[in-house]
Structure 1
Amino acid sequence: MSKTLTTLAGAALVAGLTFSQIGAAQQSLTVVSFGGAYGATQKKHQIDPYAQATGTRILLETYAGGVAEMKAQVDAGNVQWDVVDIESIDLERACAEGLLEVIPRDILLPGDDGTPAAQDFVPATLENECGVGLMLWATVFAYNENTIGAVKPDRLEDLFDLKKIPGKRALRKRPQVNLEWALLADGVKREDVYKVLATPEGQARAFAKLDTIKKDVIWFDSWSQAPQLLNDGGAVMVQSANGRFYDAIAQENKPFIMVWDDSLFDMDVWAVLKGTPRKDEAFKFIAWTTSTKPVAGFQDVAYGPARKSSQALVDPKVLPYLPTTHLEHSLKADSVFWADYGEILGEKFNEWLLK
């Protein structure tokens, strides 16, 4: 479709959403996402405004992620969910297994500043044809400014340098991120990390780098444990999702400083279940809720909006805490790689922990 026709299609869609409330009043959609502060943010900035603007009845449900329920519905030919907020690794699997509809890119609206959607979205958020990006989050490490000492970390290599900054490090007990960070700290370029990690030699190199700090690592299972470890002084540097640290900083006034060098960012997207009888309405919902203003609302939980034009709507005080502010220093987590290598590297990681 030409740019002119795409723009006209987008304009027509906006008009349909804004002025066809009577026709839409009989429409309903079941939208599935995650709970907590994230779900509340989505409801405030995307779901409720869409329902008010269009008259569509939204049934909001929560789930714990994964593809099992989606697969069960599609395989049974009894699709109850229409639109699902899905993490990138589950998106790859669900799309490959034919559980999701392909979402046409010409439904997406231009940014509020006029930028075409294809240029306005962070590129990674449109890579999979079955998803449209919502937000980006990142894995970073942080330190406590009150307890770190004279030498403060400002790059990933410092996490692995026990001589420069002695003390415990706290990392989540899983291969993801830790293996990438090990290679990055060992000198592998960002663009080469997954090529190297796909080889036996690269895997051995990553574990060898982790060996250099293994005796000083505190392993934890949930991101929720991370801020407490940093607050209590259990570790001098702690890994977590940026949103966890932001909550502690913004809501509890904790003196935590995030280090963004070589952070790994990932994303959530909207997807549409294959076979839903409400596909057209689902596409309208996605087009509207991924426009500039709705996705800017993710700043409330320190997630970066998937659209570049949304950055202008972010509170300047929040900008330093968003992954989208630090993309040039970050690596995109490769969900395709982990879909292929996750099981074998998980086994190797668990074996390594026991050595």
Structure 2
Amino acid sequence: MILTTALCGLGLAAQAQNQEVNVVSWGGAYEKSQVQAYNMPFAEKTGIKVNMMAADNPATPLKAQVEAGNVTGDVFDIEVSDAIRLCDEGALVEIDPATLPPAPDGTPAEQDFIPGALRECAVANIFWGTPIAFDTTKFSGEKPSTAADFFDTAKFPGKRGLPKNPKRTLYLALIADGVAPDQIYEALGTPEGVDRAFAKLDTIKKDVVWWEAGAQPVQLLADGEVVMTTGYNGRFFDAMVGEGKPFEIIWDGQYMDMDMFAIPKGSPNPEAALEYLKFATSTEQLANQAKYIAYGPSRKSSAALVGLYEDGKTEMGPHMPTNEEHMKTAVMDDPEFWADHGAELTERFNSWLAAN
């Protein structure tokens, strides 16, 4: 590999300084955490400049760039289902897990990453959740505490925020309707289960404000446009702890997923991209990211290194979606299920949205 040789070779440091890597991620507080934990120390260590770009969903420009034969990004932060699909389509570079750095105690990367975190063409960096958050100032008496409360507009009046996609709405409707977390996909795999989910969504449809980008739920809450909304837990944490917003998280029925780093075929800086991916998914760097945002590291060896938030006083453990208590009613993303059923459920969801 040219870059590895350049970095290791004597007297070639200047060559490394001329290298750069273009990373496409999701923006906001998440991007800030990556800049602090990955980009800045990587640039300092290697002399390779890191350019950060944001997208509502980085998989979209990745696919478009590859299909157009004009790839400008080197590393893309994408969801598991997109990583599997794009790999199958031949859009991504395969990554040998044996080349990834081991844990500090020497445990091979293949044994150190949490199950499911290593894919043929991608390596996970974080586990994240989509829980419910509410504005505490909007409820003077009893406060909502469950997924069922999200759907109870009589007891807890006010607008709700939901993402405009079936993956993170249909499951929540079933949770609120009494389906056990470990039976969600079984239910969604049947016509009866799908009908049940949409019937539950019907009960709040007129009260829903739909969001599409990660920054929107926090803004909707802050502006008072909704009293409750689902959203990415790291964004809520940043608003609550970083900005002092009067929000509270309901972990009941959170939807859990992973984000993964992938390198597109045709990357303009493939060697630098691979070096960045290895560095960013090492034990220490994954743990360091948790200083800036409440997402769980994808390596087992990182957990013990997770400590305080950057304020020096907030313990990050209780805010992690991977906290044992928060996992009790969590629903883990099933990319295989969505590969099989995503198209039909999206079509029905869009038709349901368009109907009066």
Structure with more helix by fraction: 1
Shift of 1:131: 0.6
Amino acid in structure 1 at the alignment position of 2:189: A
Please give the secondary structure, in 1, of the residue aligned with 2:104: coil
Structure 1 alignment gaps of length 5 or more = 1-14
Candidates 205, 215, 218, aligned match of 1:224: 215
Tell me which residue corresponds to 1:158: 149
Shift of 1:180: 0.8
Is the deviation greater in 111-120 or in 85-94?
111-120
Tell me which residue corresponds to 2:258: 267
Shift of 1:164: 4.6
Tell me which residue corresponds to 2:306: 313
TM-score, normalising length: structure 2? 0.81
Instruction: Please give the residue correspondences for 1:50-65 in structure 2 after superposition, counting only pairs within 5 Å.
Output: 50-55=42-47, 57-64=48-55, 65=57
Amino acid in structure 2 at the alignment position of 1:176: K
Tell me which residue corresponds to 2:335: 335
CA distance in 2, matches of 1:277, 1:345: 36
Tell me which residue corresponds to 1:112: 104
Tell me which residue corresponds to 2:352: 352
Tell me which residue corresponds to 2:282: 291
CA distance in 1, matches of 2:200, 2:208: 13
CA contact (8 A) 2:59 2:76 kept: no
Aligned residues: 339
Please give the secondary structure, in 1, of the residue aligned with 2:15: coil
CA distance in 2, matches of 1:75, 1:175: 26
Distance 1:245 1:43, change over 3 A: closer
Percent identical across equivalent pairs? 44
Instruction: Please give the residue correspondences for 1:1-355 in structure 2 after superposition, counting only pairs within 5 Å.
Output: 22=11, 26-27=15-16, 28-34=19-25, 35-55=27-47, 57-64=48-55, 65-67=57-59, 69-71=61-63, 74=66, 81-112=73-104, 114-126=106-118, 128-162=119-153, 164-231=155-222, 233-274=224-265, 279=270, 282-299=273-290, 300-311=292-303, 312-315=305-308, 316-325=314-323, 326-353=326-353, 354-355=355-356
CA distance in 2, matches of 1:81, 1:237: 36
CA contact (8 A) 2:24 2:73 kept: no
Structure 2 alignment gaps of length 5 or more = 309-313
Tell me which residue corresponds to 1:10: none
CA distance in 1, matches of 2:83, 2:185: 19
1:6-42 CA-to-partner distances (Å, cap 9, x unmatched) read xxxxxxxxx9999657556535353322244433432
Please give the secondary structure, in 2, of the residue aligned with 1:132: strand
TM-score, normalising length: structure 1? 0.81
CA contact (8 A) 1:293 1:313 kept: no
Distance 1:268 1:94, change over 3 A: same
Distance 1:18 1:236, change over 3 A: same
